[in-house]
Amino acid sequence: MPTRQMTSFVLPVPVTAEKPSLQDNTADLDRLRHALRGRLPDARPLEIPFARIVPLCRRFRQAGFSGVALVNDLPDRWVLADFLPEWPAQLPAMALDLGTTHLEATLVDLLTGQVLFAAGCENSQIEYGADILSRIHQATSVRRQVHEVVDPSFIDPGLAVLRHSIVACINGLIAELASGSGVAASDIRALSVSGNTTMAHLLLGLDPFHICREPYIPMVNVVEPMEGRELGLILHEAAPVWIMPSIGSYFGGDLISGILASGLAATEQTRMLIDVGTNAEVVLGNRDWLIACAGAAGPALEGGVARMGMRAAPGAIDFVALDPETYVLEVRTIGGAPALGLCGSGLIDLVASLYLARIIDIRGKFRDPDQESDPGRAAFMRERLVVRDGQRAFVVVTASEAGADDEVLLEQIDLDAMIRSKAAMYAVLATLVGQVGLAFSDLTEICVAGAFGNHINPQRAITLGMLPDLDLSVYRAIGNSSLQGAEQVLLSRSARQECLDIVSKITYVELNVNQDFMIRFSGARFIPHTDPSLFPSVPVFAEEKG
């Protein structure tokens, strides 16, 4: 049996006890408890949940009073969860990134840290509302009519519907992970969940009513692990569920997970983490301090802004190049599938390319082909710029090019939203850095999380003035850090502790009431910026100045 120090969420502990006799008629459970005494790594109290007593005693007896106890490692106590006759071949646990639109999960072996299987699916709650606010609306169907609820245990029927929906959705993932790894769902011994504050509330059945109402108070930010059965999940009954703690209504456990995964709070160097999901969430700091903000005015580059916007999924245009000399337009879709829309990185590529090719001006407005002096550009503009609903639009892919029924368009309204988004993003970053008296050049690394981070070309984002004009080596795409953080807490006690430390350490800056942010936001509503000296690597076209 392994001897190295394990600190996973569930700890297997070899136990051998004397068999009962007339000379030693200790009760079964007391026998197990005594045998475990001193076998645990520290003196935290050992709890045996009432519901576990019968199965524990039976399994202990069936195993001949010798085997392996499975003990959940909770922050302030051990919890005896199960008893196995022998050392297990593997100890599967599930990490879950509970996104507003999408769920991603992995099954991890707690004994080795290996990922056994991965699966994902759409968030089934989308049926009841695409975004957080509409979900809260749905979950407070009664509360919106009756201001104060008299029965303290009252559960809004709307909330119950959403909770059942997400529980069924997660149970589907559990079943998929289990069958994909050849284990039973009840063999999954732990779960960690990274989600924003509202998604966590909806899973836990907590009233989200005050989350979206000033002063924006969640019911819970830090919650003790509960058992899988308490949530209605088909994991092992006593599987502990780690809900990533959150900081506030708009700064959720998904980002705490990201801070953990990026190692931001663990190094001496000051670094930055950018997570662009439904909101843009940004954290700045090092092992001594952390400051964060979430852009409620964020860019929402994950498909919500542009009319043709979509998630980074097959058929999404994730790469666009437009040669500013030849006007050759190159478009690539994820999986090479027929183009369906633009994901965030495709949108950034496209707008940056349109700017560099001078199809749009510094305000992000389509230029008038009739005012264009360059004949090649004028011809391209006439070919690609169309008028739809009285507004100019750029045909990214024609219907015939797309091999689909619909063309993929970038409309002026999309462009305007894009400019607001990129301006908000830059203003968020600049405000945060300014708050602590630093400059962008003081940052040794900027981690960009999520599908956004995986797909965007930082150079193009710099061209737009969305990201600061730093050496490209400063930017690091770290992937789904929400899921990675969830995996880490399954495997390491110090990771679990770090999550709690992050919560108590972090300073949250509310941007909605921040004057500095509003000024910076206005200044950033040009490409790349009203002050082009901030972006020396980006060409500025003289004729359009002023």
Residues at the contact surface with its own copies, assessed by CB under 8 A: 20-22, 24-30, 33, 45, 47-48, 50-51, 53-59, 62, 75-77, 148-149, 152-155, 204-207, 210, 214-224, 226-227, 230, 246, 248-249, 510, 513
Quickly list H helices, 205-313: 228-231, 253-262
Torsion angle, alpha carbons of 367, 370, 376, 380, to 10: 60
455 within 8 A of 228, measured Cβ to Cβ? no
CB of 503 to its own copies, least distance (A): 9
Q: Which of 431, 461, 104 is nearest to 254 (CA)?
A: 104
CB of 26 to its own copies, least distance (A): 7
Q: How far apart are CA 73 and CA 90, in angstroms?
A: 18
* Of 25 and 515, CB closest to its own copies: 25
Strands 341-342 and 316-322: parallel
Helix (H, G, I), strand (E, B) or coil at 102: strand
* Of 40 and 413, CB closest to its own copies: 40
Which tokens is 136 given? 């809260």
Helical packing angle, 481-491 and 253-262, nearest 10°: 80
* Of 214 and 543, CB closest to its own copies: 214
CB of 67 to its own copies, least distance (A): 12
DSSP 40: S
CB of 80 to its own copies, least distance (A): 10
* Of 34 and 382, CB closest to its own copies: 34
Q: How far apart are CA 363 and CA 543, in angstroms?
A: 13
C-beta neighbour count of 429 within 10 angstroms: 25
* Of 83 and 535, CB closest to its own copies: 83
CB of 152 to its own copies, least distance (A): 4
CB of 278 to its own copies, least distance (A): 19
C-beta neighbour count of 345 within 10 angstroms: 25
12 within 8 A of 68, measured Cβ to Cβ? yes
* Of 53 and 126, CB closest to its own copies: 53
CB of 48 to its own copies, least distance (A): 6
* Of 205 and 303, CB closest to its own copies: 205
